[in-house]
């Protein structure tokens, strides 16, 4: 074999090895999570009457092997990151109340108001299948505080070694940009629905998580998102007909209050 041929052999062998390593890594990453599109909105709360955003609802989503469980993060007056959807908890404005005051009140199942630390730790326990879909709520106080919540959430997720399990979502574009600035490897999805997939791609946002009506109005965005290899997610889809439409259109994720119904639709027949 001539010297040139030997060189070409080694170069092509190297390239094949590189390609196979990359593919293996990609596959093992994608295999890690449940192979269904079901994201339980505020955890799997409804069927069992759990409070939304409770650790019980997160655990139920994990038990069901949903591919994701969504929850909302806010910050108290004394900078504690907590899990709650509304800006108020028991009529107290979260951003203007300390964690000690807020946590005097329990959730309806007796759980204490979860901190982000407690929630993520609970989400890491016996869980390899369910992503933690962390929504950062914008601050009512101002943009800068919203970005601070993003920075602190990402830092905590990193500290708890939960980064590979976590997806960040927000209605505030600047919050997602801050997430990427702090952790360039973070996976982000935008919620507000006015940005084209092309724009998201340009800004390094990994996915469009829009109200399903946005995709119905702009069906071209579905193809555009696929072209740019963006993740497609839709909220909050609770009826069978819309679930079927999104499944037919190849959505990666569907965020729902009815995870059991969507799991039934997407279950693979057992052999
Ligand atoms: Mg939410």
Q: Is residue 25 part of a domain?
A: no
Q: What is the pLDDT along the chain (271 residues), one digit of tens a residue?
A: 565 665 556 656 555 555 444 443 333 344 589 999 999 999 999 999 999 999 999 999 999 999 999 999 999 999 999 999 999 999 999 999 999 999 999 999 999 999 999 999 999 999 999 999 999 999 999 999 999 999 999 999 999 999 999 999 999 999 999 999 999 999 999 999 999 999 999 999 999 999 999 999 999 999 999 999 999 999 999 999 999 999 999 999 999 999 999 999 999 766 5
Within-domain flag for 65:
yes
Residue count of the chain: 271
Q: Tell me, in angstroms, the distance from the centre of ligand 1 to residue 41's CA.
A: 7
Ligand 1 centre distance from Cα of residue 83 (Å): 10
CA 198 to ligand 1 centroid distance, Å: 24
Establish if 244 belongs to a structural domain: yes
17 in a structural domain: no
Could you tell me the CATH number of the domain that includes residue 159? 3.20.20.190
Give 70 Cα–ligand 1 centroid separation in angstroms.
Answer: 6
* 1 close to 217: Cβ distance less than 8 angstroms: no
Q: How many domains does the chain have?
A: 1
Residue 254 three-state SS:
strand
Strand pairing of 166-170 and 187-190? Answer: parallel
Measured in Å, residue 185 CA sits from the centre of ligand 1 at 22
Spatial distance between the Cα atoms of 71 and 42, rounded to a whole number of angstroms: 5
The rounded distance, in Å, linking the Cα atoms of 48 and 45 is 6
How many Å lie between the centroid of ligand 1 and the Cα of residue 255? 10
In a domain, residue 67? The reply is yes
Asked if residue 28 belongs to a domain, the reply is: no
Residue 13 lies in a domain: no
Beta strands in the chain (DSSP E): 38-40, 68-75, 81-83, 88-89, 92-93, 131-136, 166-170, 187-190, 207-211, 231-235, 253-256
86 CA distance to ligand 1 centroid (A)? 9
Enclosing domain of residue 211: 34-266
Distance 10 CA to ligand 1 centre (A): 51
With respect to residue 128, please indicate whether it lies within any of the assigned structural domains: yes
């Amino acid at each position: 074999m001539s010297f040139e041929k030997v060189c070409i052999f080694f170069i092509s062998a190297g390239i094949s090895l590189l390609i196979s390593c990359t593919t293996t890594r990609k596959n093992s990453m994608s295999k890690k999570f449940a192979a269904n599109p079901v994201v339980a909105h505020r955890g799997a709360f409804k069927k069992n009457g759990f409070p939304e955003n409770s650790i019980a609802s997160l655990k139920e989503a994990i038990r069901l092997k949903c591919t994701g469980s969504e929850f909302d993060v806010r910050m108290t007056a004394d900078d504690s990151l907590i899990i709650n959807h509304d800006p108020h908890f028991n009529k107290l404005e979260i951003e203007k109340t300390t964690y000690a005051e807020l946590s005097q009140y329990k959730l309806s199942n007796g759980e204490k108001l979860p901190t982000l630390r407690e929630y993520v730790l609970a989400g890491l326990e016996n869980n390899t299948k369910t992503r933690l879909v962390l929504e950062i709520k914008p601050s009512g106080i101002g943009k800068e505080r919203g970005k601070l919540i993003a920075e602190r959430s990402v830092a905590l997720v990193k500290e708890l070694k939960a980064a590979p399990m976590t997806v960040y979502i927000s209605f505030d574009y600047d919050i997602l940009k801050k997430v990427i600035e702090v952790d360039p490897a973070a996976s982000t999805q935008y919620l507000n629905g006015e940005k084209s997939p092309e724009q998201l791609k340009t800004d390094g946002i990994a996915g469009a998580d829009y109200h399903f009506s946005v995709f119905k109005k702009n069906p071209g965005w579905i193809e555009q998102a696929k072209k740019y290899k963006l993740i497609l997610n839709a909220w909050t889809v609770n009826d069978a007909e819309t679930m079927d439409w999104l499944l037919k259109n190849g959505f990666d994720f569907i965020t729902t209050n009815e995870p059991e119904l969507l799991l039934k639709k997407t279950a693979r027949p057992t052999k």
